[in-house]
Structures are given as structure tokens and as C-alpha cells.
Amino acid sequence: MALLPILRYPDPRLHTRAAPVAAVDDEIRALVRDMAETMYEAPGIGLAATQVNVHKRVVVIDVSEDKSALMAFINPEIVERDGEQVCEEGCLSVPGIYEKVTRAERVKVRALNGEGEPFELEADGLLAVCIQHEIDHLDGKVFVEYLSALKLGRIKAKLAKKARITA
Ligand code: GNR
Ligand code: NI
């Protein structure tokens, strides 16, 4: 097991489009385990491989309160979406920033699990938000890019200032 370093916005590597996984082999299973450990330690409710600089379509999510419901999504695809919800989102790659984003209220996702078996899941609420947020990462998109240019500019300035202090 290993903790993996998380890329911080505006690292350009966060804009990489991840490639589909050809086979769920030992290397992918080890990645899933390391990503889960990294997510729990952060702590966060989801993590996309993009955020740990691995550009493969792998996501882990656990929205439970007691870390009891780890889910792996390999090559996830949203096949249905319905409705709208607004959720205050955060991101491990944009620490300290929380902003409201509008997304689908309900999604049906198709993916492979950690064993490489196909499954479908209907999700709503926070799980639906998290699935959409993580698939965006695999497509090179970070949640702050849904905000206005004004808000994004302010966030970039705030992160740059914080980076100067921590450096
Ligand atoms: O830990 C996380 N919390 C969160 C809260 C609201 C909406 C989305 C998220 S995902 C985030 C972890 C993360 O950055 N995943 O990419
Ligand atoms: Ni994120």
C-alpha cells in the first residue's frame, strides 16, 4: 500500500484526458488500493486517477460516514442523467475552495468494478455529484472551471497567494 501525492490546481497535468483501461490486472488492482488509501487519508469522498498523475480511467468513491462502502469505477460512463441539483463542492486538488455547482440530480453509470466485472448503478444526491465530479477529472476538467471567469480568477489568486506562503 502507498499514499500517492495529489496534483494541485492549476497543475496542467490535471487537464489530461485519461485513457481507457484495457484489462483490470494486478497493476490496476494495486492502483485502486493505493487510491483508496490516499482518498481515506486525505480525507475525501472520491478520487480520480488523474489527481495522482495516473492518466487511466479509474475512480474510487466512498460517500459513507464510516469508510464502509468503497466503490471502484473503471472506465465509467454515464448512460442516463436526469434533473438538476446544486451542491457545494470541494476538491482535493483545489484545497480550501468550496463553491456551488449545478449538476444532474440522478445518473445511471456503467463501469467495471475492481474485479473487472461490468455493473450499472443508479445514483442520486451526493453520490451522483461525486460520480460526475470524478468523471470530469478523467476528462481533464476541474470543478472550478464551471464557475464564472471572475470567480475562477479570484480562486487562482487565492491559491497562488497560499502557494507563496507554504513555499
Ligand atoms: O472529498 C471530496 N468531496 C466532495 C464534496 C462535494 C462534491 C464533490 C466532492 S469530491 C472531493 C474529492 C475529490 O476531489 N475528488 O476528485
Ligand atoms: Ni476533485
Query: Is 167's pLDDT higher than 90?
Result: no
- 17-40 pLDDT, tens digit each: 999 999 999 999 999 999 999 999
Q: Whose CA is nearest to atom 13 of ligand 1?
A: 91
Number of H helices, E strands in the chain: 3, 7
Whether residue 59 contacts residue 67, with contact meaning beta carbons closer than 8 Å, is answered with no
Report how far residue 13's alpha carbon sits from residue 162's, in angstroms, rounded to the nearest whole number.
20
**Are 54 and 31 a contacting pair, CB within 8 Å?**
yes
Distance CA 140, CA 105 (A): 22
For residue 137, which atom of ligand 1 is closest to its CA? 16
Write out residues with Cβ below 6 Å of ligand 1.
Answer: 44-48, 51, 87, 89-93, 129-130, 133-134, 137
Grid cell listed for 83 = 434533473
As a whole number, the mean pLDDT across the chain is 97
The Cβ of residue 37 has, within 10 Å, a number of other Cβ atoms equal to 16
Point out the ligand 1 atom lying closest to the alpha carbon of residue 143.
8
Residue from 89, 100, 146, 147 whose mutation best tests the ligand 1 pocket (most atoms within 8 A of CB): 89
Question: Which residues are the active-site residues?
Answer: 134
Q: What is the pLDDT of residue 166?
A: 78
